[in-house]
Amino acid sequence: MPYTPEDKKRAITRLRRIKGQAEALERAIEAGTDCAPLLQQIVAMRGAANGLMAQVMESHLRETFGPGKNPAEDDRDREHDAAVEGVMKILRTYLK
């Protein structure tokens, strides 16, 4: 779950975009739109859902494996951030 207010706002924005895409897809199907544009819209929705999944996953990783609260652990915090970035880079590759 997105923990910070900024993360929640970004997640809700993405969800609203996906909702709008789904509604547009429904209207297009009802209107008898050709398959190619429908498939293009479905791919866009899948990309939006994958983007949301990556965002929530990153929030989860940062919260679960978050840095310590001790200022003496600054080096460990930087290592943690770098590790989370590395994992997210791999995940985003697979979520495309």
| Per-residue pLDDT at 69 exceeds 60 | no
We report the CATH number of the domain holding residue 88 as 1.20.58.1000
Q: What is the pTM of this model?
A: 0.74
Which residue range(s) make up the domain with 85? 5-95
pLDDT of residue 86: 87
CA dihedral 57, 60, 61, 67 (to 10 degrees): 150
DSSP H stretches of helix in 1-96: 5-30, 35-64, 74-95
Q: How many structural domains are present in the chain?
A: 1
Give the C-alpha separation, 27 to 45, whole Å.
15
pLDDT in tens, 72-95: 566 677 787 888 888 888 888 887
Position 71 scores a pLDDT of 56
| Residue 40's pLDDT band (cuts 50, 70, 90) | very high
